[in-house]
């Protein structure tokens, strides 16, 4: 089994052509999507970057693996052996006692060569480095004296192609993480120009932007010099140019697999760690909440030719916690009992397969939020609003069928729905939390880590 997992930082689903984006941002990803299964309502279980990748690689939610934010709290993965899965005294379990591993280690233990090319710099956490045969972090300057979070997409692709060339005759798992289109946006003018006439979404409106300019906070309209929708158009032109740039170099990896005769028999995944918000709810060019702009991501899976597949679109609710058991099943490896996701293989093979009715996901860096999403409803529970105490209510309810942009909080008109969904959230937390306290509660107690950045700007 050969697996190429492409993780694109800050890529919103609705800015990918296969998901309806009108501008020509992703021709290579779109070409792959035509030969694959595309999940239309895929979310990350935790955001932003570190929590999202912890959920991916451990197959466990942040409430259980302990990583729900950045900083010191992201450094240690909780051992699932010390969790509520284990009843009675320590070591006496109601489940089997086999060891657990996160995804790369499980593959490593089963003699699959593992390699990572990651442009994300917050990986001093021991759990991320454990276990890869090859690991590359290409650090590059931006031209402004910076070296933080700036490796170029072409460098990531070069390292990825080198790994494939070195292991062509082996089974392998390659994790390739692209920093673009995350900021800073630094594509040259000619690349930006092609997107300056692209459509601008309906939100934020001019009236909303005017209101947002009264917010004295980091990434507010004032902080980002957003005076009107023309400024949104300019920001999105830069974002789209970054996506097109990343797509070009993702295409190089796919083309290399084709040229080497490896494409058909390789499982290829293209997804993101989170999206990006552009003022729809008051913050600009940031990932700060459980709204869809942050939490919903593209998820495109092309199985190997030997595996049955029903190509096309899936509208079932999935999260990136489901990816570890999915890849394990394709590799014909039994996943650890402590993994909490569900393999997507049944859905990939049959669009009518039975599936869950709801998903739960968190954000823990700039706010402390937990949301539950059903086919129709989305309840956002805010436990800490960051610096937006007057702007972020404790409860928000959205009818996702009638209001996909999440502009009309209808919680006051649907109190029974709110009560029922909150009860489901509490039951979910009781089922999934480890023996430690809910780590999102610790974020509430200490304040979201991003609050310090807001206050530094606010006090300037």
- Does residue 289 contact residue 367 with C-beta atoms inside 8 Å? yes
Q: Work out the mean pLDDT of the chain and round it to a whole number.
A: 89
Alpha-carbon distance 271 to 115, whole Å? 18
Contacts of 89 (CB under 8 A, 6+ apart): none
Kindly indicate the confidence band of residue 120, based on its pLDDT and cuts at 50, 70 and 90. confident
- Could you report how far apart the first and last alpha carbons of the chain are, in Å? 54
**What φ, ψ does residue 282 adopt, rounded to 5°?**
110, -20
Q: What is the distance between the alpha carbons of residues 407 and 399, in angstroms, rounded to a whole number?
A: 10
State residue 301's pLDDT score: 99
- Specify the CATH superfamily of domain 2-356: Alkaline Phosphatase, subunit A (3.40.720.10)
Identify the pLDDT of residue 184: 87
* Phi, psi (degrees; rounded to nearest 5) at 224: -95, 5
Strands 37-43 and 284-286: unpaired
Residues 6+ apart with CB under 8 A from 292: 275, 404, 406
Mean pLDDT of the 41-49 span: 97
Q: What is the mean pLDDT of residues 83-99?
A: 37
- Beta strand 296-302 pairing with 368-374: unpaired
Instruction: Give the pLDDT confidence score for residue 144 in this predicted structure.
Output: 56
Q: Considering only CA atoms, which of 254, 267, 281 is closest in space to residue 366?
A: 281
pLDDT per position as a tens digit, 46-57: 999 999 999 999
The CB density around residue 428, as the number of other CB atoms within 10 Å, is 17
| Least confident among 102-111, 193-202, 213-222, 261-270 | 213-222
Give backbone dihedrals phi and psi of 118, rounded to 5 degrees, phi first.
-125, 125
Place of tokens 């996901």: 361
Question: Mean of the pLDDT values across residues 216-224?
Answer: 86
- Confidence at 87, pLDDT banded by 50, 70, 90: very low
Q: What is the pLDDT of residue 98?
A: 40
Region 325-333: mean pLDDT is 98
The length of the chain is 460
User: If pLDDT is split at 50, 70 and 90, which confidence band does 450 have?
Assistant: confident
HEC string of the chain?
Answer: CEEEEEEECCCCHHHCHHHCCCCCCCHHHHHHHCCCEEEEEEECCEECHHHHHHHHHHCCCHHHHCCCCCHHHHCCCCCCCCECCCCCCCCCCCCCCCCCCCHHHHHHHCCCEEEEEECCCCCCCHHHHCCCCEEECCCCCCCCCCCCCCCCHHHHHHHHHHHHHHCCCCCEEEEEEECCCCCCCCCCHHHHHCCCCCCCCCCCCHHHHHHHCCCCCCCCCCCCCCCCHHHHHHHHHHHHHHHHHHHHHHHHHHHHHHHCCCCCCEEEEEEECCCCEECCCCCEEECCCCCHHHHEEEEEEECCCCCCCCCEEEEEEEEHHHHHHHHHHHCCCCCCCCCCCCCCHHHHHCCCCCCCCEEEEEECCCCEEEEEEECCEEEEEEEECCCCCCCCCCEEEEECCCCCCCCCCCHHHCHHHHHHHHHHHHHHHHHHCECCCCHHHHHHHHCCCCHHHHHHHHCC
Q: Which residue has the higher pLDDT, 149 or 349?
A: 349
**C-beta atoms surrounding 61 within 10 Å:** 27
Q: 206 is written with which tokens?
A: 């001019």
Instruction: Give the span between the Cα atoms of 205 and 30, in whole angstroms.
Output: 30
| Average pLDDT of the segment spanning 110-114 | 96
pLDDT digits (tens, 9 = 90+) for 384-437: 998 777 778 999 999 999 999 999 999 999 999 999 999 999 999 999 987 678
Closest C-alpha to 83, from 91, 71, 72, 73: 91
**What is this structure's pTM?**
0.93
Distance of CA 320 to the CA centre of its chain: 7
């Amino acid at each position: 089994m050969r697996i190429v997992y492409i993780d694109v930082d800050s890529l919103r689903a609705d800015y990918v052509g296969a998901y309806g984006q009108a501008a020509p941002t992703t021709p290579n990803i779109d070409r792959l999507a035509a030969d694959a299964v595309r999940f239309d309502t895929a979310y990350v279980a935790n955001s932003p970057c570190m929590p999202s990748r912890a959920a991916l690689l451990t197959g466990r939610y942040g409430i259980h693996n302990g990583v729900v934010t950045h900083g010191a709290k992201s450094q240690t993965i909780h051992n699932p052996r010390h969790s509520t899965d284990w009843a009675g005294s320590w070591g006496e379990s109601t489940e089997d006692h086999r060891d657990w591993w996160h995804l790369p280690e499980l593959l490593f233990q089963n003699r699959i060569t593992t390699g990572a090319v990651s442009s994300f710099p917050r990986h001093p956490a021991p759990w991320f480095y454990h276990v890869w045969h090859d690991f590359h972090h290409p650090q590059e300057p931006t031209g402004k004296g910076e070296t933080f979070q700036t490796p170029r997409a072409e460098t990531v692709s070069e390292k990825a192609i080198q790994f494939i060339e070195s292991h062509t005759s082996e089974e392998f798992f390659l994790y390739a993480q692209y920093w673009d289109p995350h900021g800073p946006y630094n594509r040259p003018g000619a690349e930006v120009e092609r997107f300056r006439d692209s459509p601008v979404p309906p939100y934020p409106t001019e009236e909303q932007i005017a209101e947002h300019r009264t917010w004295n906070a980091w990434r507010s309209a004032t902080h980002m010099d957003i005076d009107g929708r023309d400024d949104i158009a300019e920001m999105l032109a830069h974002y789209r140019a970054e996506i097109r740039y990343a797509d070009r170099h993702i295409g190089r990896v796919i083309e290399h697999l084709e040229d080497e005769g490896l494409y058909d028999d390789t499982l290829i995944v293209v997804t993101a760690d989170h999206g990006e918000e552009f003022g729809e709810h008051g913050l600009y060019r940031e990932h700060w909440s459980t709204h869809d702009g942050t939490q919903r991501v593209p998820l495109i899976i092309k199985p190997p030719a030997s595996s049955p597949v029903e190509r096309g679109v899936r509208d079932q609710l999935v999260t990136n916690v489901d990816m570890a058991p999915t890849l394990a099943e394709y590799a014909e490896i039994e996943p650890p009992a402590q993994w909490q996701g569900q393999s997507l293989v049944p859905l990939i093979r049959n669009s009518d397969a039975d599936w869950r009715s709801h998903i739960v996901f968190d954000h823990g860096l700039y706010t402390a939020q937990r949301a539950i999403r059903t086919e129709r409803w989305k309840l956002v529970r805010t436990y800490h609003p960051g610096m937006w105490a007057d702007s972020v209510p404790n409860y928000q309810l959205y009818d996702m069928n009638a209001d996909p942009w999440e502009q009309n909080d209808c919680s006051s008109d649907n109190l029974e729905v709110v009560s029922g969904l909150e009860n489901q959230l509490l039951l979910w937390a009781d089922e999934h939390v480890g023996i430690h306290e809910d780590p999102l509660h610790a974020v509430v107690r200490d304040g979201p880590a991003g609050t310090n950045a807001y206050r530094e700007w606010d006090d300037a």
